[in-house]
Amino acid sequence: MSLLRAEGLSKEFGGVRAIEALDFEIQPGTVFSIIGPNGAGKTTLLNLLTGIYRPSAGRMWLEGRPLAGHAPHLFAAAGIGRTFQNLQIFFNMSALENVMAGRHLHERCGLAAALLRTPRLARAERACSDRAAELLAFVGLAAYERSAAEAMPYGALKRLEIARALAAEPRLLLLDEPAAGRIEFCGEDVTAAPPEARVRRGMVQVPEGRQVFGPLSVVDNLRLGAYRRGRAESVASLERVYAMFPDLAERRAQPAGTLSGGQQQMLAMGRALMARPRLLLLDEPSMGLAPRLVAGIFACIQALRDADLALLLVEQNARSALAIADRGYVLETGSIVLAGTGAELLADEGVRTAYLGL
């Protein structure tokens, strides 16, 4: 008998078919690999096999027992474990505690034992801790046993998630992109770092749509960008921003919500600069602006580049973006299809036809 069998398995999202009529079997003690590009439905399939999604059609069996329609925790209790493409780690817990959390299906002490701290509970906790330590050693993380997850490198976190999945003692282990990529900033792995930690390291974003605090004044919006800086440094940063964007200096007491679109974009950029970034990420800075204002925004971006600030610019205005870019990348469906200097991409026939209207 197969361990897992699927028949006619399908999943639709609003009429879009992500998975269509899949039939397959997985035998005990085998490796079953699924490959395909981004958007092919790989993670959707794993979500079906763990009960996160309910199939639009089709059936599944685990050792002959029907699965479809059950809640996710029943899939786990039945013996299906998984990891996730995007890390789902408890970052405020240690590596050992993360793996111990994966043992919850095998712990039998109830609320009364936990409240009374009974000897039985103490024995169960020791056994759970010992098993978690064994699994950390199995995946090569014994040295990280007491480490906070938030301080561990990305590769170690991937193995930690595998150890936690193994803690449930699954009969079928589903691994979602276990070797997926990483982000390194100034020689440090920041793939799993939360947003506030990335800002502390110097990665600061100007979001699409500006996202200013409308009721607050211009100066209060700017000060929020420097909330981790000392007063003297904040004052110096404020003067630099006012020098770059004189309109903001003139309107420092004005509510941000009453500014024009171009002025709000200046404010969003100024707020990001208050954090003293080493890398500034700009998401569609010209969106919704008149051509005259777009030219002013790109002049500011070029001035920042000339001041040796690294910039990552995401922009649909290809002509303006490539005109100031040292290097550019063309993305299609999540993949880089073309790369080169800004000048090379501006001269490329494919880019000129698809993005420049020439």
> Can you tell me the distance from the alpha carbon of 284 to that of 206, in angstroms, rounded to the nearest whole number?
9
Q: Alpha carbon of 49 to those of 22, 269, 321, 322: distances in Å?
A: 12, 44, 43, 44
Instruction: Find all residues with CB under 8 Å of 245, minimum gap 6, and list them.
Output: 266, 267, 269, 270, 300
> Which domains occur in the chain, in start order?
1-78 (3.40.50.300), 194-316 (3.40.50.300)
> Is the distance from CB of 266 to CB of 252 less than 8 angstroms?
no
Taken in order 329, 330, 332, 336, the sign of the CA dihedral is: negative
Beta strands in 207-325 (DSSP E): 279-283, 310-314
pTM: 0.62
Residue 206 phi, psi dihedral angles, 5° rounding:
-100, 110
> Can you tell me the distance from the alpha carbon of 119 to that of 99, in angstroms, rounded to the nearest whole number?
22
Taking the CA atoms of the chain, what radius of gyration do you get in angstroms? 26
- Per-residue tens of pLDDT for the chain, all 358 residues: 789 999 999 999 988 899 999 999 999 999 999 988 778 899 999 999 999 999 999 999 999 999 877 889 899 999 999 999 888 999 999 999 999 999 888 777 667 666 777 777 788 888 899 999 999 999 999 999 999 998 888 889 999 999 999 999 999 999 998 877 778 899 888 877 778 889 999 999 999 988 999 999 999 999 999 988 888 888 999 999 999 999 999 999 999 999 999 999 999 999 999 999 999 999 999 888 888 888 889 999 999 999 999 999 999 888 889 999 999 999 886 778 889 999 999 999 888 887 776 5
Q: Alpha carbon of 80 to those of 67, 102, 129, 157, 313: distances in Å?
A: 11, 12, 22, 21, 42
Could you tell me which of 13, 85, 16, 73 has the C-alpha nearest to residue 46?
85
> Can you tell me the distance from the alpha carbon of 188 to that of 246, in angstroms, rounded to the nearest whole number?
36
